[in-house]
Chain A
Amino acid sequence: MSTALLTDLVIFVLSLWVGFEVISKVPATLHTPLMSAANSIHGIVLVGAMLIAATTNSWVGYLIAFLAAVFASANVVGGYAVTGRMLKMFRKRPSAPAVPASAAAQDGHRP
């Protein structure tokens, strides 16, 4: 087993524990945004897609890089956008509508 693989394994295992520790405190109210946030974080695979595009020089490689780039960037952009949209809706008390009336009507918010 190479040192690099061992280092990677250590990082992986410790990150798992950090994840368990941090996430087990998230309240049930936020479980959907949490999952959506986790979703956007795994969009980091975009880095992998970019590195393929940077190193390949065959048409198969370009095809794979293209598909991976489409998938991963849909994941990243969509994930963060929808998480933000959801979290904006969580309020402690009904406050003065933060959204303009037209947008509110479009989103189906109650006046």
Chain B
Amino acid sequence: MSGFSFGTQLIYVLAASCFVLGLHLMNNPATARRGNQFSTAGMVIAVATTIALIVHAGVISTTGWLVMLVGALIGGSLGLFAARKVQMTAMPQLVSMFNAVGGGAAALVAIHDYITVAVIGVAESTTITTLLDVIIGSVTFSGSIIAAGKLQGLITSAPVTFPGARVVNLLLAAAAVAGGGYMISTPSLPALWVVIAASLVFGVAMVMPIGGADMPVVISLLNALTGTAVAMAGFVIGNWALIIAGALVGASGGILTKLMADAMNRSIGNIIVGGFGTGDTVAAALPGAGAGVRAIAADDAAIQLAYASKVIIVPGYGLAAAQAQHEVAELADELESHGVDVSYAIHPVAGRMPGHMNVLLAEANVPYPLLKEMDDVNPEFARTDVALVIGANDVTNPAARRAGTAISGMPILDVDQAKSIIVIKRSMGHGYAGIDNELYTNPKTSMYFADAKTALTELTSAVKTLVG
């Protein structure tokens, strides 16, 4: 190893250390911004080092420079535009698209490497990782695009399955492995195309059967896969920065995947195989059609809220879908100004990605200490006058505590322990699990049938006239 390449590897390790430090600073909202700056610095260092490396090697053609610069300009502006314009409710789609391009780029690195070595013979040490990079990268690429499409509503968010889907998946996996085996034993471009095609289709087939409410798990899993693909790309081109960064992302995605799956009491395998068999937009029954359900109007709900001393707000995907985060914060402000103690109970899988609700509420200026995690907030419900459930369903269903229901064993928010409960919901429609929510028939519960945004605006003005 020459002195120069020794030096560059060391600088790459420095860049990787910045990533570790950056992630470490994410432990606390107060230091998280600094963490992102460290991480950005690491990336700048890595890219600058690579430019130095390329100049030093001196083999790059003018076309090479052009391709690199134009590509970076186009990609960079697209990324910046998306990052500036995206609404916080659409974060899951954007993250999914970043997974897609990251996985795609990683796959391309391996594809190029294979095409190059296939001409001159195979270097054994890299082919296994090359193969893994191609497979994982391609699966992530197509899978993430499908996930983004589902989140954006371009593809139905209901699980899409067909008879024999599992057989097809197995065949695709077999094709990828067989093609890969052949790729390693004999340098062969057709085998590479087979592997790429099988992996791309497998990615689609993997995500299509997964329903909307399982998205937090899927996005986390795809994130972990992207990281792994990037690490494999690092093996392929012998670059430590890629290996370390990829492993960090793989670990991060892995942890989130497990956290999300645990929060639904489902195994990752079970989620991948398919949803509960229903979509989360089940055709709704008529409002108030359920037996023993008490409907409530804005004025009565406002009275309950205004004269409470402690209110816990339980937001769910319905809040994000209605983009009502600003309205809920406004209601909370109004209540707080009249001395009501307001906090938020956040279930780990509320929304469409890990931490989705927290970002929405942060956007609406809600201070993060008011957002309580499930285990911390559950003991507080017994001391709560009003629990206000907005667009959350399965995560509040007491049926989870009993055996034998579709959601048995899933950790839930103990909303039913509150002295009274108000549920804002468009209809009596089922949640993702497709079962009745026993909370709604609880005698302490009143149902406020409306779109979250409308309901919250009406509630706020009702509270204002009442006590203002």
Is B201 an interface residue when CB atoms closer than 8 A count as contact?
A: no
Indicate with 1 or 0, residue by residue over A15-49, a CB within 8 angstroms of chain B CB atoms: 11111101111111111111111111111111111
Task: Give per-residue flags for A63-74: 1 if the beta carbon is below 8 A from chain B beta carbons, else 0.
Answer: 011111111111
Interface residue? B160 (CB, 8 A) = no
A28–B346 touching, CB < 8 Å: yes
Is A23 touching B39 in the complex (CB atoms < 8 A)?
no
Interface residues of A in 1-22 (CB under 8 A from B): 1-2, 4-5, 8, 11-13, 15-20, 22
Chain B residues 190-243 with CB under 8 Å of chain A are 219-220, 223, 226-227, 230-231, 233-243
Q: Name the prevailing secondary structure of the A interface residues.
A: helix
A102 at the interface (CB under 8 A from B): no
**Given A49-B71, A76-B79, A81-B84: A39 and B99 within 8 A (CB)?**
yes
| A49 to B: closest C-beta gap in Å | 6
A110 touching B365, Cβ below 8 Å: yes
> Given the complex of chains A and B, what is the CA–CA distance between A90 and B233 in angstroms?
34
Closest 6 A-B residue pairs measured CB to CB? A19-B251, A78-B79, A69-B71, A31-B355, A73-B75, A15-B247
Q: Which residues of A contact B (CB under 8 A)?
A: 1-2, 4-5, 8, 11-13, 15-20, 22-57, 60-62, 64-94, 108-110
In the complex, whether B174 has a CB less than 8 A from a CB of chain A is: no
CA distance A38 to B99 in the complex (A): 10
Please, how many angstroms separate the alpha-carbon atoms of A71 and B140 in the complex? Answer: 13
Q: In the complex, are the beta carbons of A69 and B67 less than 8 A apart?
A: yes
26 A-B pairs (CB sep. < 8 Å): A12-B246, A23-B26, A23-B251, A29-B371, A32-B95, A33-B359, A38-B23, A38-B249, A39-B249, A40-B98, A42-B230, A42-B246, A44-B46, A45-B233, A50-B54, A62-B67, A71-B105, A72-B75, A74-B75, A77-B76, A81-B80, A82-B94, A86-B359, A91-B368, A92-B368, A110-B329
Q: In the bound complex, do residue A37 and residue B255 qualify as a contact, i.e. CB atoms below 8 Å apart?
A: no
How far does the Cβ of B145 sit from chain A's closest Cβ, in whole Å?
Answer: 12
Q: Are A75 and B105 in contact (CB under 8 A)?
A: yes
Alpha-carbon distance A54/B371, docked complex (angstroms): 49
**Known contacts A28-B348, A65-B64, A85-B83; A79/B251 CB under 8 A:** no
Are B33 and A19 interface neighbours, CB within 8 A? no
**A57–B251 contact, CB under 8 A?**
no
In the complex, A94 Cα to B337 Cα: how many Å?
13
The minimal Cβ–Cβ distance linking B173 to chain A, given in whole angstroms, is 24
Given known pairs A64-B111, A68-B108, the reply for A37 and B68 (CB within 8 Å) is: no
Asked if B342 CB lies within 8 Å of chain A CBs, one says no
Stretch at the interface among B55-63, B279-287, B403-411, B441-449: B55-63
Chain B interface residues toward A at CB < 8 A: 15-16, 19-20, 22-24, 26-30, 32-33, 35-36, 39-40, 42-43, 46-47, 50-51, 53-54, 57, 59-61, 63-65, 67-68, 70-80, 82-84, 86, 88, 91, 94-95, 98-99, 101-102, 104-106, 108-109, 111-112, 115-116, 125-126, 219-220, 223, 226-227, 230-231, 233-256, 259, 326, 329-330, 333, 346, 348, 353-356, 358-359, 362-365, 367-369, 371, 373
B336 CB to nearest chain A CB (Å): 10
User: Judging by beta carbons under 8 Å apart, are B230 and A61 in contact?
Assistant: no
Contacts of B35 in A (CB 8 A): 37
B116 near A61 (CB under 8 angstroms)? yes
User: Which of A2, A28, A53 contacts B64 (CB under 8 A)?
Assistant: A53
CB closest residue in chain B, given A33: B32
Q: Give A88's nearest chain B residue, CB to CB.
A: B33
CA distance A45 to B256 in the complex (A): 22
Q: Is the CB of B112 within 8 A of A52?
A: yes
**When chains A and B are docked, how far (Å) is the Cα of A15 from the Cα of B372?**
31
Contact indicator B223/A86 (Cβ below 8 Å):
no
Task: Report chain B residues within 8 Å CB of A66.
Answer: 67, 70-71
Other-chain residue from A15, A38, A51, A65 in contact with B67 (beta carbon distance below 8 A): A65
| Given A72-B101, A74-B79, A77-B75, CB of A8 within 8 Å of CB of B235 | yes
Complex CA distance for A13 and B102, rounded to whole angstroms: 21
Are B242's CB and A35's CB within 8 A?
no
Q: Chain A contacts of B247 at CB under 8 A?
A: 11-13, 15-16, 18-19
Smallest distance from the beta carbon of A73 to chain B beta carbons, Å?
A: 3
CA distance in complex: A2, B22 (Å)? 32
Query: Would you call A50 and B373 a contact (CB within 8 A)?
Result: no
Pairwise interchain contact A65-B68, C-beta atoms closer than 8 A = yes
